[in-house]
Structure 1
Amino acid sequence: MLVTLSVGWAIIQGGRFVLSPLLPTIIADLGITEATAGLAFTALGGVYAVAQYPSGRLSDQWTRTTLIVPGLAVLVVGFLLFGTASSYLPFVAAAVVVGLGKGLFAIPSRALVSDRYVERRGRALGVYAAGTDAGGLVASGVAVVVLSSATWRAPFLPIAVALALLTLLFVWWSDEPYQVERADLELGTTVRRLVASSGQRRTLTAYALFYFMVGGFITFFPTYLAGSKGFTESLASVAFAVVFVVGFGIKPLAGDLSDRFHRQDVAAAGMGAAALALVVLVVAESALLIWASTLVLAVGYKTQFPLADAIVMDAAPDGGMGADLGAARALFLGASAVGPAYVGIVATAVGYAAAFGSLAACLLVAALLVWH
């Protein structure tokens, strides 16, 4: 199940991340601005965030499989819609459907992995989270090919087909029953449990700031390099790929380190390094500094993903892991959803330096909050 779910997550994230290096072409083809493009990604992230808690809570009360399979089916439809979008409104509709499918899949799949790896939760979640980087790496390579020889819509039919095949495999291999019954979401109880201590409140605030930075950075990073740093679109796609190459290796290692040492200390060190690297990236003029800062930034911020989930799961009660993780990630991803709109609007109004510089400040504050 770890391999199956990790591969599924890689395909899903590949479909999401292939949009970023193709964004300049999408903007030109659909006749939109960076601000309106950012709003479309915010719609995707917003629906994804809203779906986190109910999917997590229901996967506790029903079964993980009962949520995972419909989530995969909705994702197949969403990526087919991306492949046929010919104007802005269908593009936004596709983004909303993909956001819903991701929301149904993300928490139950993580909870299923965590159910099976209690003692090595950090490492297992690191392997799962590395699916994001495997998908992003493939997306970067696909984008280079698409930019040189095909329409931006070309990748989405193969992605939908791959997800459909994986859904069939998951259904065949899963040993969980399907169960639907009356359920109580108990959102108030879960929220009160999450904010019960000052340490938990600081951690939640820190990761909300972190995810806000991620949402803005990852959506516009290739566009930023192409528009402000003199990179070609293909070279910007290579830099985008480097971020995921680093993440693929660092996430399992970070998860393992967090099993051995204090998770919050590992998280704070990574955030601090990422904040410094993002500042250097903004002011850098030489290609060497841009590449070096990109590498350090990738190491620092990719460290966080298995740690954030593990920190929340460590504090969750038996039978409430999906609910707690869903509520926490709803907050994190709600902040992440605002990131693309923020960067798009600020970049359109005053430039990318101000947009990305303020993201570095968010990272620094997050590092200070999580270090306790």
Structure 2
Amino acid sequence: MRKKLLILLSLGWIFNYAHRMSIPPLIPIIKGEFSITNAQAGLLMTSLLLPYALIQVPAGYFGDKLGRKRLVVMSILGYSLASAFMLFARDYWHLLAVRALYGLFAGLYYAPSTALISEIYKERKGSALGIFMIGPPVGSAIAPAIAVPIALTLEWRYSFLVLSLMSATIGVALMFAIKGEVKQVERPRFQIPKNILGLSVMNFLLLAAFFGILTFLPDFFVNKGRSLEEASFYFSILSIVGIFGSIAGGTVYDKIREASLICILSFNAVLSFILVKTSYPPLVLPLGLFFYSVGPAVTAYTSEHATPENLGTVMGFVNMMGFFGATTGPYFVGFLIDKIGYEGAFYSISGMYLVSMLILAFEKIHY
């Protein structure tokens, strides 16, 4: 049962990302249709990430109180239906509204899922979360593979309808394949300890960098003279390599704990700097490996700052702060691109990784 649950939760997380990351490879088409700026294109990520962030703490607490599996099923079916509404979007404000509704339901997923996995896998939670966290790279990889061919063959809005039908099947499978609640919290507490504040700021910067890169990487390569198909291919390669990075990140964390985070953040800072300096596409291979190893390591590290009674709340709070960064990152990077170009804008991403390393080092000394 444990393995079946992990597989279904991981599939739901994959499609959670596939829906949200279908926008980046479609940005060149959407910009042309709606005549919007890079900053406005960045808001297409911000509009989903803001409600996503705001719902994190309630999702964690109510998952503990009402049932984590129940809330996860509600999330999958809700975000599938919401994303399908993209079919009816006919102006820029419609796009923002649909993305916001999607973000609200998608935000119910992470906290109860990661709390549930951390509880049932205990000392092997890093490895289990490494499997769960293949969601971002796999979802990001299949997004252009689904969205771009449909956009070029039919029309880009149908990409979201196809994804919605696929993800809804996972919600139905989770509803019927796993009977009842797997782990019920007896006395859930809405408590946020002081020792997670630095970690929360670090996660803010990490997800600002993460979504800043993901939102504009395809457009970055198009700007450097690559075709949309070629840029989408590099975007997919980054994510495919990230599958191995996610699994490795969780496994290494189980062995060397915080030291793994220091190494991961260092490589991300260096590789993102070299990529923008050289525009050399093969760099997406090593970058993808370290880029996606951050998620499981940070998630496992966060779970160690909580008790069983407030685990969902803590996971939700740290992720909420991270997604405030994710909300800010795409708009901030898009704004910098409009003002100073891609090179200067992407240098700020390397800076975010460096500051995150300093915060982690400070936290390790003082706690």
* TM-score for the superposition, normalised by structure 1: 0.91
Say if 1:273 and 1:300, in contact at 8 Å, map to a contact too.
Answer: yes
Of the structure 1 ranges 295-304 and 252-261, higher mean CA displacement relative to structure 2 is found in 295-304
Q: CA deviation at 1:365?
A: 1.6
For each residue in 1:239-297, what CA deviation from the matched residue of structure 2 results, as whole angstroms up to 9, or x when unmatched? 100111111111111101110112x2111111111111111111115xxxx12432222
Question: What is residue 241 of structure 1 aligned with on the other side?
Answer: 236
Q: CA deviation at 1:91?
A: 0.5
Instruction: Flag the 1:75–1:292 CA change in 2: closer, same or farther, 3 A.
Output: same
Question: What is residue 297 of structure 2 aligned with on the other side?
Answer: 307
Q: Give me the CA root mean square deviation.
A: 2.1
Q: How does 1:307-346 map to 2 (within 5 A)?
A: 307-346=297-336
Q: CA deviation at 1:177?
A: 5.0
Percent identity, aligned pairs only?
26
Say if 1:39 and 1:341, in contact at 8 Å, map to a contact too.
Answer: yes
Say if 1:274 and 1:298, in contact at 8 Å, map to a contact too.
Answer: no
Instruction: Flag the 1:201–1:31 CA change in 2: closer, same or farther, 3 A.
Output: same
Question: What is residue 221 of structure 2 aligned with on the other side?
Answer: 225
Say if 2:22 and 2:147, in contact at 8 Å, map to a contact too.
Answer: yes
Q: How does 1:173-322 map to 2 (within 5 A)?
A: 173-177=177-181, 186=190, 189-190=191-192, 193=193, 195-196=194-195, 200-227=196-223, 229-262=224-257, 264-284=258-278, 290-322=280-312
Q: 1:65 aligns with which of 69, 75, 85?
A: 69
CA distance in 2, matches of 1:149, 1:76: 22
CA distance in 2, matches of 1:150, 1:259: 46
Of the structure 1 ranges 164-173 and 337-346, higher mean CA displacement relative to structure 2 is found in 164-173
1:214 is aligned with what amino acid? Answer: F
For each residue in 1:79-100, what CA deviation from the matched residue of structure 2 results, as whole angstroms up to 9, or x when unmatched? 1112221211111111101101
SS at match of 1:315: coil
Say if 1:41 and 1:340, in contact at 8 Å, map to a contact too.
Answer: yes
Q: How does 1:16-27 map to 2 (within 5 A)?
A: 16-27=20-31
Say if 2:24 and 2:215, in contact at 8 Å, map to a contact too.
Answer: yes
Q: 5+ residue gaps in structure 2?
A: none
SS at match of 2:122: coil
Say if 2:203 and 2:318, in contact at 8 Å, map to a contact too.
Answer: no
**Count of aligned pairs:** 356
2:263 is aligned with what amino acid? Answer: A
Q: CA deviation at 1:147?
A: 4.8
Say if 1:126 and 1:253, in contact at 8 Å, map to a contact too.
Answer: yes
CA distance in 2, matches of 1:185, 1:117: 21
Question: What is residue 87 of structure 1 aligned with on the other side?
Answer: 91
Of the structure 1 ranges 106-115 and 357-366, higher mean CA displacement relative to structure 2 is found in 106-115
Q: 1:2 aligns with which of 6, 18, 35?
A: 6
SS at match of 2:134: helix
Say if 1:30 and 1:86, in contact at 8 Å, map to a contact too.
Answer: no
Q: How does 1:125-204 map to 2 (within 5 A)?
A: 125-177=129-181, 186=190, 189-190=191-192, 193=193, 195-196=194-195, 200-204=196-200
CA distance in 2, matches of 1:249, 1:2: 17
CA distance in 1, matches of 2:113, 2:25: 27
2:247 is aligned with what amino acid? Answer: P
1:114 has 2:108 as partner:
no
Say if 2:137 and 2:239, in contact at 8 Å, map to a contact too.
Answer: yes
Q: CA deviation at 1:203?
A: 3.0
1:233 is aligned with what amino acid? Answer: L
Q: 5+ residue gaps in structure 1?
A: none
* TM-score for the superposition, normalised by structure 2: 0.92
CA distance in 1, matches of 2:172, 2:147: 27
CA distance in 2, matches of 1:94, 1:163: 17
CA distance in 2, matches of 1:33, 1:336: 19
1:40 is aligned with what amino acid? Answer: L
Say if 2:151 and 2:158, in contact at 8 Å, map to a contact too.
Answer: no
Say if 1:251 and 1:303, in contact at 8 Å, map to a contact too.
Answer: yes
Question: What is residue 351 of structure 1 aligned with on the other side?
Answer: 341
Say if 2:199 and 2:318, in contact at 8 Å, map to a contact too.
Answer: no
Question: What is residue 55 of structure 2 aligned with on the other side?
Answer: 51
Q: CA deviation at 1:359?
A: 1.1
